Chain A
């Protein structure tokens, strides 16, 4: 009954020649959007595939296929493909759905140079991991980050603490430091402890237990700025310019800038994998960041 009613409305409200209203009418129904997504994701789809994935009656599918006649076409192999307009509709859905679901930024925020720069510096595909191939890239990157972190922490003799680096967290006796690659090991420990704290806080405060593995896989991206900072720090050391006051100030400023970039990447990760709003992601990261520092300062005292 509902399908028939909709069909009547369709013919009444939509002039078949009116491309624009047809386009938006086609996108106005959840099943039709899903149809476009299924065909768009796979390149084509058979009737059986559509029926299996949509879990609706044959009549309903035929009805929606008819409504989508300008967006979907059936070719000689009996499979359904997207027309040029269908491709446009599919792209439109894909581009907008995540923004609509998350609704994290006010338009002004997005237009601001700071956020635009940060978005430009965000390896979005590696964090979002839309397909298996990118997932493998993401795993490789995380392992690479760990290896580079270990190497650079060890050769620069610097201790990582959350997103900050300092050589004064020397709580170990020098004999142990010389005998054991403690700085490198600290980088790995810091990586996993940081992940566990963030994951635990998400579960505890926001009840977000999903996507833990994906979050772990892309967690390495957070440390990309740290690695770049370590490279700079290494260059300052080998050129022996680190003792110059201006260079040391530059070194510290670079650390703060890269730390802010890391924090942004953490926030983006939380938004993608834990479905947190940007405000919540910021609150969580700032609390962990400053909480961690307060603890270490109290211990140091």
Chain B
């Protein structure tokens, strides 16, 4: 029982969302494929004016937006719905990026490096934080 309570407290800890956002942000500066960071890839793409260049900034934008959402609910829990919508938009950026990467560059995914895994873990953490915010409120209200 005590273990269960401990586990619940640990999961309910809002810091999960912050960690997720930070992971998403720092993944931008870590190597993704062949030693290149997303920032390197963005610089290469933008110098050739390739249409998809801005896509490589999306994990960074996603991390910043999710951090804003998480901080909002961290400061004022009453703004939970706003925070969830902001986080949804933030994850939307990442989802779009990963969708493009996976569907177009799937052969490279096998050789993905630490940045890729950081971003995936970050997005999962943010997603669980969003669920946690919603579930916790539900439990507090004692309504289903």
Where the two chains meet, the residues of A that have a C-beta atom closer than 8 Å to any C-beta of B are 105-106, 108-109, 112, 114-115, 118, 164, 166, 168-169, 206, 242-246, 248-249, 252, 255-257, 259-260, 263-264, 277-280, 282-283, 286-287, 290, 293, 296-297, 300-301
Contact at A112–B79, with CB atoms within 8 Å? yes
Residue of B nearest to A104 (CB): B81
Contact at B76–A108, with CB atoms within 8 Å? yes
Q: Name the one of A280, A282, A283, A297 contacting B102, with C-beta atoms under 8 angstroms.
A: A297
Contact at B98–A297, with CB atoms within 8 Å? yes
In the assembled complex, the Cα of A257 lies from the Cα of B109 at a distance in Å of 28
B104 contacts which chain A residues (CB < 8 A)?
168
In the assembled complex, the Cα of A106 lies from the Cα of B141 at a distance in Å of 11
Q: Name the one of B86, B96, B131 contacting A255, with C-beta atoms under 8 angstroms.
A: B96
Contact at A293–B99, with CB atoms within 8 Å? yes
B138 contacts which chain A residues (CB < 8 A)?
277, 279-280
Contact at A256–B89, with CB atoms within 8 Å? yes
Q: Give B123-144 interface residues, CB cut-off 8 Å to A.
A: 127, 130-131, 134-135, 137-138, 141, 143-144
Closest CB pairs A-B (n = 8)? A249-B54, A108-B78, A256-B92, A168-B103, A248-B51, A279-B134, A245-B53, A114-B82
Using A244-B51, A296-B99 as known contacts, list a sample of 12 further A-B pairs with CB atoms less than 8 Å apart, ordered by residue number in A: A112-B79, A114-B85, A115-B81, A118-B85, A166-B99, A248-B51, A252-B54, A263-B85, A277-B143, A283-B135, A290-B95, A300-B103
Contact at B103–A169, with CB atoms within 8 Å? yes
B78 contacts which chain A residues (CB < 8 A)?
106, 108-109
In the assembled complex, the Cα of A81 lies from the Cα of B21 at a distance in Å of 60
B93 contacts which chain A residues (CB < 8 A)?
252, 256
- Between B46, B52, B103, B130, the greatest number of chain A beta carbons within 10 A of the residue's beta carbon is seen for B103
Tell me, rounded to whole Å, the shortest Cβ–Cβ distance linking A176 to chain B.
18
SS class, residues of chain B in contact with chain A: helix
Contact at A283–B131, with CB atoms within 8 Å? yes
In the assembled complex, 26 residue pairs joining A and B whose CB atoms fall closer than 8 Å, in A order, are A108-B76, A109-B80, A109-B81, A114-B85, A164-B95, A166-B100, A168-B99, A168-B100, A244-B49, A244-B51, A245-B45, A245-B50, A245-B52, A248-B51, A248-B55, A249-B54, A252-B55, A252-B58, A255-B96, A279-B137, A282-B84, A283-B135, A286-B88, A287-B131, A297-B99, A300-B102
B43 contacts which chain A residues (CB < 8 A)?
none
In the assembled complex, the Cα of A244 lies from the Cα of B73 at a distance in Å of 37
B134 contacts which chain A residues (CB < 8 A)?
279, 282-283
Tell me, rounded to whole Å, the shortest Cβ–Cβ distance linking A252 to chain B.
6
Tell me, rounded to whole Å, the shortest Cβ–Cβ distance linking B33 to chain A.
15
Tell me, rounded to whole Å, the shortest Cβ–Cβ distance linking B109 to chain A.
6
Residue of A nearest to B137 (CB): A279
Contact at B103–A246, with CB atoms within 8 Å? no
Residue of B nearest to A283 (CB): B134
In the assembled complex, the Cα of A166 lies from the Cα of B45 at a distance in Å of 20
In the assembled complex, the Cα of A297 lies from the Cα of B76 at a distance in Å of 35
Q: Are A242 and B51 CB-contacts (below 8 A) given A280-B138, A301-B109?
A: yes
B96 contacts which chain A residues (CB < 8 A)?
164, 252, 255-256
Tell me, rounded to whole Å, the shortest Cβ–Cβ distance linking B46 to chain A.
6
In the assembled complex, the Cα of A206 lies from the Cα of B98 at a distance in Å of 32
Q: Are A286 and B130 CB-contacts (below 8 A) given A108-B79, A260-B85, A264-B85?
A: yes
Contact at B50–A166, with CB atoms within 8 Å? no
In the assembled complex, the Cα of A105 lies from the Cα of B113 at a distance in Å of 43
